[in-house]
């Protein structure tokens, strides 16, 4: 078991290195291959009408003139031990882990990310609880009474939920519950300040996001349950004389839900890296919104930072899923 964890952790670290390398290549190598000079590249890091000195400073700070591996080295070194940028009159210090420095706004990326992370976590966690509970419950009921009225209705709703895009359901929810009948708050309040207000503001966003996901989860659960309930061990459980609800809960769900853990972990990981559209629609100051800002400002370091953070979350979620799976299914421990 320990060897398994070590191996998976080791693999996760390698994967993260690969991800940083690829991200790095996209941001620094691709433009060069497309024919941009170091000056042009450096220009992108500064606002409009930069001076020659500014460009030179950025070029020097990022090492854009140096060979690629050296640039990558600076980049990794920054993440591990921080970096100092010389900005002519002043120097800016970017503490470890330095995920970049926005020359346009003169702020390091990392503090921005950490300050916005609680918003994204609040959004993702709340929605996750909602979709997991509703999706699994609907899926189980549908599976137990396949082709029933309930089954058909909810699978129809589920189909709609999957097909409707976030900017439709989200805006509709905003329109109805925040503007038409202002039941819910409009500005994000941290949980630590006022939990009730926190939940109140986030509720429409949770619902919109959960609608999308619970539809997928209901379908997953339904097909998983249908398959599981046909397994031989379910027949054995019934042959023991267990009540049907215990057969479903103890034997069916346990087996059917395990594969769903995998999907859930991945989805949550992805969402933590920024629910871009949801945060934008509901004006939540989260990571996704930060990325959108970076894109609209054509400010590369925030985008790079968000990309890396998202990758980090996905890789970690993946690792956790593997460990959870091993804990849930004793057969996995062998390999």
Contact between 237 and another protein per CB under 8 A: yes
Contact between 258 and another protein per CB under 8 A: yes
Q: How many CA atoms lie within 13 A of 29 on its CB side?
A: 13
Contact between 149 and another protein per CB under 8 A: no
Q: Phi, psi (5° rounding) for residue 220?
A: -60, -50
Cα–Cα distances in angstroms (integers) from residue 240 to residues 227, 233, 243, in the given order: 20, 11, 9
Contact between 199 and another protein per CB under 8 A: no
- Among the candidate windows 66-74, 215-223, 228-236, 316-324, which touches another protein by CB under 8 A? 228-236
Cβ–Cβ < 8 Å for 104, 47: yes
Contact between 1 and another protein per CB under 8 A: no
Q: How far is the CB of 151 from another protein (least distance, A)?
A: 10
The single residue among 187, 232, 245, 296 that binds another protein, judged by CB under 8 A, is 232
> Which residues inside 4-23 make contact with another protein, applying CB under 8 A?
6-7, 10
- DSSP 3-state of 108: strand
CA distance 290 to 322: 30
Which residue lies nearer to another protein by CB, 26 or 327? 327
**Cβ count within 10 A of residue 300:** 21
Which residue lies nearer to another protein by CB, 216 or 234? 234
Q: Phi, psi (5° rounding) for residue 90?
A: -115, 165
Contact between 328 and another protein per CB under 8 A: yes
The single residue among 29, 242, 270, 277 that binds another protein, judged by CB under 8 A, is 242
Q: How many CA atoms lie within 13 A of 230 on its CB side?
A: 7
Interface residues with another protein (CB under 8 A)?
3, 6-7, 10, 143-146, 226, 229-244, 250-251, 254-255, 258, 328-331, 334
């Amino acid at each position: 078991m320990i060897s398994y964890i070590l191996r998976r952790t080791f693999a996760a670290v390698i994967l993260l290195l690969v991800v940083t390398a690829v991200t790095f290549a996209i941001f620094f190598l691709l433009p060069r291959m497309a024919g941009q000079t170091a000056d042009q590249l450096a220009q992108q890091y500064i606002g409009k009408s930069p001076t020659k000195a500014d460009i030179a400073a950025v070029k020097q700070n990022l090492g854009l003139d140096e060979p690629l591996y050296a640039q990558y080295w600076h980049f990794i070194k920054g993440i591990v031990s921080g970096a100092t940028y010389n900005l002519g009159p002043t120097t800016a210090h970017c503490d470890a882990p330095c995920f970049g420095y926005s020359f346009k706004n003169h702020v390091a990326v990392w503090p921005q990310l950490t300050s916005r992370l609680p918003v994204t976590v609040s959004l993702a966690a709340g929605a996750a609880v909602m979709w997991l509970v509703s999706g699994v419950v609907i899926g189980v009921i549908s599976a137990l009474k396949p082709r029933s009225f309930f089954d058909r209705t909810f699978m129809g709703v589920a189909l709609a939920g999957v097909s409707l895009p976030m900017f439709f359901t989200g805006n509709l929810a905003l329109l109805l519950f925040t503007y038409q009948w202002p039941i819910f708050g409009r500005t994000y309040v941290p949980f630590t300040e006022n939990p009730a207000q926190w939940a109140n503001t986030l509720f429409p966003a949770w619902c919109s996001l959960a609608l999308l996901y619970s539809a997928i989860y209901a379908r997953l659960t339904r097909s998983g349950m249908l398959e599981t309930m046909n397994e031989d061990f379910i027949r054995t459980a019934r042959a023991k004389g267990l009540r049907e609800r215990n057969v479903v809960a103890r034997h069916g769900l346990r087996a059917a839900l395990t594969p769903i853990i995998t999907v859930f972990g991945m989805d949550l990981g992805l969402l933590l890296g920024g629910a871009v559209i949801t945060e934008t629609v509901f004006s939540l100051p989260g990571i996704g919104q930060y990325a959108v800002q970076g894109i609209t400002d054509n400010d590369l370091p925030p985008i790079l930072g968000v990309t890396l953070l998202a990758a980090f979350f996905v890789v970690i979620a993946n690792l956790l899923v593997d460990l959870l799976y091993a804990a849930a299914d004793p057969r996995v421990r062998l390999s």
